[in-house]
């Protein structure tokens, strides 16, 4: 790849040296940009791998907790305790449902309103 770059640069200088100078000046900017992006990608990949590791630990804890609940036959108690939490999470959805009903009532009033346009010409 490096040989191709060098040979193409030499041929470019022989054929048209002005265009080759412009291409080389932009080539250095592109090379620097690629190097910076490469470093950023490496850092973000390391952060991502650490996050996956933490997620794996959490998943293992959850699975072991499920096994513990099943071992002590505590399913009904846990279903009841988490059922109460789900009601708290559903309250914003219920509010959105009532807001949608109010909006639908207004829309139906507009639809039922008689037209002011005379259809008989």
Residue 92 lies in a domain: yes
* Model pLDDT for residues 6-57, shown as the tens digit of each residue: 888 888 889 888 888 888 888 888 889 999 999 999 999 999 999 988 888 8
Look over the chain and give the mean of its residue pLDDT values, rounded to a whole number: 82
The pLDDT assigned to 121 comes to 58
Residue 55 lies in a domain: no
Residue 114 CA to residue 45 CA, distance in Å, equals 63
Residue 3 lies in a domain: no
The pLDDT assigned to 35 comes to 92
Residue 58 lies in a domain: no
Residue 88 lies in a domain: yes
- What range does the domain containing 93 cover? 75-115
Residue 91 lies in a domain: yes
* Model pLDDT for residues 72-89, shown as the tens digit of each residue: 777 777 777 676 666 667
Residue 44 lies in a domain: no
Cβ atoms of 35 and 27 closer than 8 Å: no
- Interior CA angle at 82 toward 77 and 84, to 5°? 105
The pLDDT assigned to 71 comes to 73
Cβ atoms of 104 and 95 closer than 8 Å: no
- The total domain count for the chain is 1
Residue 11 lies in a domain: no
The pLDDT assigned to 56 comes to 85
Residue 20 CA to residue 59 CA, distance in Å, equals 56
């Amino acid at each position: 790849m490096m040989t191709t770059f060098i040979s193409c640069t030499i041929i470019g200088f022989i054929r048209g040296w002005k265009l080759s100078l412009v291409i080389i000046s932009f080539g250095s900017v592109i090379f620097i940009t690629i190097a910076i992006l490469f470093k950023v990608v490496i850092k973000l990949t390391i952060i991502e791998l650490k996050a996956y590791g933490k997620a794996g630990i959490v998943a293992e804890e959850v699975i072991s907790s499920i096994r513990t609940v099943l071992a002590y036959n505590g399913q009904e108690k846990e279903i009841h305790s988490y059922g109460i939490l789900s009601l708290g999470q559903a309250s914003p959805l219920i509010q959105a449902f009532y807001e949608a009903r109010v909006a639908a009532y207004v829309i139906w009033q507009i639809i039922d309103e008689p037209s002011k346009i005379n259809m008989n010409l």
